């Protein structure tokens, strides 16, 4: 039995990708394939064909899906780079007219523990801290000053893929793509929000050279910083006692304790302070004292 997937809002969203297809039939196949993926909950072509609306599980249906997915049809441009480019353009249009946009950059893991034959299958971290098969994903969410939200960038990558250079290169590509797309819509003031995985001097220096403002969560509190250019360097945990605090945020969250096998409530506190690192790169740190 096919799983029911609501088609209204999702189908309207897919209409934005219509220009990539040479005719209506190809676009209908693309839309049907995505609905089949959601309904089947997997990526096996036989399951997708069986669960896709209006299709049947036949060898012919699977062959059509295979040609479409592997970009073997000259009338449809489904290269991953082209899909990401269109996604970024659509998101930037939703941000048009905003005086400033908050940009959240996030790297997550796409876990495929049972997969064995997917090409360039990488290793990622499982929820229990072990290593499992999977891919890395990079996603950017934009939030305008009026509350409008839009997906600005999304891609997946493998460190084992031919031509892969570095994670830093992937981060830079995302920043440049989003910056350029928003600039075309008249949005030039961006504030990047970064988790501790992006707390690396090379990447933060790149943002600084691009004229981008950002807030990053500290990877550790032993990093040497300066409260101002020319002042003595000190560990971040010491600077927190002397710096002027921009803001302090606090939130309570239920977390699962693996030792007691129970949930408990934990209070997280985040303090933002302005500081400068000894290489004259200024940034705002979010630390958790």
Predicted confidence (pLDDT) per residue in 150-161, tens digit: 999 999 999 999
Instruction: State how far the Cα of 245 lies from the Cα of 163, in Å rounded to an integer.
Output: 43
Is 150 in a helix, a strand, or coil?
strand
Whether the predicted pLDDT of 104 surpasses 90: yes
Least confident of 130-144, 255-269, 270-284: 270-284
Strands (DSSP E) found in the chain: 101-111, 122-125, 131-144, 149-157, 190-194, 213-217, 224-225, 234-235, 247-257, 262-277, 281-287
pLDDT digits (tens, 9 = 90+) for 190-237: 999 998 889 888 898 899 889 998 888 878 778 777 777 677 888 877
pLDDT digits (tens, 9 = 90+) for 16-45: 888 887 778 778 878 888 888 888 877 777
Q: pTM (2 decimals)?
A: 0.76
pLDDT above 70 coverage of the chain, percent: 83
- The whole-number pLDDT of residue 282 equals 41
Record the tokens describing residue 209, joined without a space. 């050279």
């Amino acid at each position: 039995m096919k799983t029911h997937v609501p088609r209204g809002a999702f189908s309207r969203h897919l209409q934005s990708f219509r220009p990539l297809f040479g005719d209506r039939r190809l676009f209908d196949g693309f839309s049907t394939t995505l609905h089949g993926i959601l309904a089947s909950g997997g990526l096996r072509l036989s399951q997708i064909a069986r669960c896709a609306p209006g299709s049947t599980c036949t060898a012919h249906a699977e062959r059509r899906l295979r040609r479409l997915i592997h970009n073997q049809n000259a009338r449809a441009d489904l290269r991953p780079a082209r899909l990401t480019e269109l996604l970024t353009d659509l998101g930037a249009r939703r941000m048009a007219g905003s005086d400033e946009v908050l940009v959240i950059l996030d790297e997550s893991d796409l876990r495929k523990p049972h997969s064995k034959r997917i090409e360039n299958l990488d290793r990622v971290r499982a929820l229990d801290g072990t290593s499992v098969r999977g891919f890395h994903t990079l996603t950017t969410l934009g939030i305008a000053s009026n509350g409008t939200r839009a997906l600005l960038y999304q891609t997946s990558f493998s460190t084992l893929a031919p031509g892969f250079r570095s994670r830093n290169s992937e981060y830079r590509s995302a920043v440049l793509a989003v910056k350029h797309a928003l600039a075309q819509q008249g949005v030039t003031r961006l504030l990047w929000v970064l988790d501790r995985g992006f707390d690396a001097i090379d990447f933060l220096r790149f943002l600084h050279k691009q004229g981008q403002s950002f807030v990053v969560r500290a990877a550790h509190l032993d990093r040497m910083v300066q409260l101002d250019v020319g002042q003595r360097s000190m560990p971040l945990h010491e600077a927190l006692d002397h710096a002027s605090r921009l803001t302090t945020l606090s939130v309570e969250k239920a977390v699962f304790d693996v030792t007691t096998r129970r949930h408990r409530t934990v209070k997280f506190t985040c303090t933002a302070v302005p500081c400068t690192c000894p290489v004259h790169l200024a940034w705002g740190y979010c630390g958790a004292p």
